[in-house]
Structure 1
Amino acid sequence: MTALGRAELTLLVRNRTALFVALLMPVAMVVPLRSTLDRFDLAGTGVTVGGALLTGAIGLVLILVVYLNLTSAFVARREELVLKRLRTGEVSDLEVLAGTALPAAALALVQCALIVVAGAAFLGTGAPPRPELLLAGVLLGTVLMTALAAATSAITRTVESSQITTMPLFLVTAAGSGLFVPLDLLPERIASVCELLPMTGAVRLVEAGLLGGAGAADWAGAALSALAWTVISVFAVRRWFRWEPRR
Structure 2
Amino acid sequence: MNATAARLTALGRAELTLLSRNRNNLFIAVLMPVLMIFLLRSSLTNLDGDLPMGIAGATLVGGTGMVLVLVVYMNLVSTYVARREELVLKRLRTGEARDAEILAGGALPASVIALAQCAILTALGPAVLDAEAPHRPDLLVAGVVAGILLLVALAAVTTVITRTTESAGLTTLPFFLISAMGSGLMVPVDTLPDPVASVAGLLPLSGVMELIRAGWLGADAVGGKELLGAGLTTVAWIVLSVFAVRKWFRWEPRR
TM range (shorter): over 0.9
Q: Which amino acid aligns with 2:232?
A: L
Q: Is the 8 A contact 1:75 1:153 kept in 2?
A: yes
Structure 2: unaligned runs, 5 residues or longer: 1-7
- For the 8 Å contact 1:42–1:49, the answer to whether it is kept is no
Whole-Å separation in 1 of the counterparts to 2:164 and 2:129? 41
The match for 1:219 is 227
Give the deviation of 1:41 after TM superposition. 3.8
Q: CA deviation at 1:242?
A: 0.3
- Shift of residue 42, structure 1, vs aligned partner: 4.3
| Secondary structure of 1:54 counterpart | helix
Contact 1:173 1:200 in 2 (8 A): yes
Of 49, 60, 83, the match for 1:77:
83
The structure richer in helix per residue is 2
The corresponding residue for 1:54 is: 60
Aligned twin of 2:12: 5
| Alignment pair present for 1:22 and 2:14 | no
Q: Could you tell me which of 45, 50, 70 is aligned with 1:38?
A: 45
Contact 1:119 1:126 in 2 (8 A): no
- Post-superposition shift, 1:216? 2.1
User: Separation in 1 of the partners of 2:97 and 2:247?
Assistant: 20
For residues 127 and 145 of structure 1, the distance between their equivalents in structure 2, rounded to whole angstroms, comes to 26
Cα distance in 1 for partners of 2:131, 2:123 equals 9
Q: Deviations over 1:109-166 (max 9, x none)?
A: 0000111112222223232111111011101110111000000011111111111111
How much is the aligned-residue C-alpha RMSD, in angstroms? 1.2
**Distance in structure 1 (CA, Å) of the matches to 2:48 and 2:94:** 57
2:74 touches 2:172 (CA, 8 Å); kept in 1?
A: yes
Q: CA deviation at 1:35?
A: 1.9
Unaligned runs of 5+ in 1: none
**What secondary structure, in the 3-state scheme, does the structure 2 residue paired with 1:90 have?**
coil
Secondary structure of 1:126's counterpart equals coil
- String of CA shifts for 1:173-197, please: whole Å, max 9, x gaps: 1111111121011110111111111
2:115 is the alignment partner of 1:86: no
Which has the larger displacement, 235-244 or 120-129?
A: 120-129
Identity %: 59
SS at match of 1:4: helix
TM-score (norm 1): 0.96
2:134 and 2:65 mapped to 1: Cα distance? 16
3-state SS of paired residue (2:181): helix
Output one character per residue of 1:202-240: Cα deviation in whole Å (capped at 9) or x when no partner: 011101100012332121111111111111111110110
Partner of 2:4: none
| Structure 1 residues 148-227: aligned runs within 5 Å | 148-212=154-218, 213=220, 214-227=222-235
